[in-house]
Amino acid sequence: MRAKAAILYEAGTPLRFEEVEVAPPQAGEVLVRLYAGGVCHSDLHVMKGDLSMPMPIILGHEGSGVVEDVGAGVKSVQPGDHVIPIWRVSCGTCEYCNGGRPALCDVGTEMRVTGLMEDGTTRFSVAGEPVRHFAGVSSFSEVSTMPEAAVLKIPKDFPLDKAALLGCGVITGVGAVANGARVKMGSTVAVFGCGGIGLNAVQGARIVGARRIIAVDVAEQKLEYARTMGATHTVNAADVDAVAAIKDLTDGRGVDYAFEAIGITKTIEQAYAATKKMGTCVVIGVTRADVRVNINANEMVYAEKTLMGSLYGSARPKIDLLHLMEMYRSGQLLLDELLTRTWPLAEINDAYAALERGEVARSLVLA
Catalytic residue (choose from 41, 42, 64, 310): 42
Class of the CATH-defined domain 173-310 = alpha beta
Residue 224 phi, psi dihedral angles, 5° rounding = -65, -40
- Tell me whether residue 194 is one of the annotated catalytic residues: no
Neighbouring C-beta atoms of residue 186, cutoff 10 Å: 11
Go through 18-35 and write b for each residue having 16 or more CB atoms within 10 A of its CB, e for each that does not: eebebeebbebbbbbbbb
How far apart, in whole angstroms, are the C-alpha atoms of residue 200 and residue 165? 11
Rounded Cα–Cα distance for residues 55 and 46 (Å): 10
Phi, psi of 45 (to 5 degrees): -60, -40
Q: Are 32 and 68 in contact (CB under 8 A)?
A: yes
- Mean pLDDT (the chain) is 96
User: Taking phi first (over 0 means left), then psi (-120 to 50 degrees means alpha), and beta for anything else, what does residue 261 get?
Assistant: alpha
Work out the number of other CB atoms within 10 angstroms of the CB of residue 254.
23
Residue 65: the pLDDT is 98
Is 97 marked active-site?
Answer: no
Contact in structure between 238 and 268 (CB atoms under 8 Å): no
Q: Is 76 a catalytic residue?
A: no
pLDDT of residue 287: 87
Query: HSE (CB half, 13 Å, CA atoms) of 63?
Result: 34
CA distances (Å), origin 144, targets 20, 175, 312, 341: 10, 27, 22, 23
Q: Of residues 61, 82, 133, 233, which has the active-site annotation?
A: 61
Kindly report, residue by residue over 218-269, the tens digit of the pLDDT.
999 999 999 999 999 999 999 999 999 999 999 999 999 999 999 999 999 9
C-beta separation of 143 from 22 below 8 A: yes
Residue tagged active-site, from 168, 233, 314, 363: 168
The reply to whether 41 belongs to the active site is: no
Q: Identify the bridge partners of residue 213 per DSSP, sorted by sequence position.
A: 189
Q: pLDDT tens digits for 272-325? A: 999 999 999 999 998 888 889 999 999 999 999 999 999 999 999 999 999 999
Among 45, 82, 133, 233, the active-site one is 45
pLDDT, one tens digit per residue, over 47-65 is 999 999 999 999 999 999 9
User: CA distances (Å), 251 to each of 188, 246, 255, 279, in order?
Assistant: 11, 9, 10, 15
The letter for the amino acid at 340 is T
- Give the mean pLDDT of 160-182: 97
d(CA 235, CA 198): 14
In one letter, which amino acid is 234?
T
The pLDDT of residue 361 is above 90? no
- Where do the CATH 3.40.50.720 domains begin and end in the chain? 173-310
Q: Which homologous superfamily does the CATH classification assign to the domain defined by 2-157+337-366?
A: Medium-chain alcohol dehydrogenases, catalytic domain (3.90.180.10)
Strand stretches in the chain, DSSP E: 2-8, 16-22, 29-38, 57-58, 63-70, 82-85, 124-126, 129-131, 143-147, 151-154, 188-192, 212-217, 233-236, 255-260, 275-283, 306-309, 339-344, 362-366
d(CA 31, CA 164): 17
Q: Residue 360: is its pLDDT beyond 90?
A: no
Q: Outline which parts of the chain fall under CATH 3.90.180.10.
A: 2-157+337-366
Catalytic residue among 40, 105, 194, 281: 40
Q: What is the pLDDT of residue 359?
A: 87
The question of whether 64 is a catalytic residue gets the answer no
pLDDT tens digits, one per residue of 96-155 = 999 999 999 999 999 999 999 999 999 999 999 999 999 999 999 999 999 999 999 999
Spell out the alpha helix ranges (H) of the chain.
Answer: 41-48, 95-98, 106-114, 160-165, 171-175, 196-208, 220-229, 242-248, 265-273, 297-302, 317-329, 348-356
The strand pair at 82-85 and 57-58 is best described as: unpaired
> CA-CA-CA-CA torsion for 56, 61, 64, 67, nearest 10 degrees?
60
* Paired strand residues for 145: 31
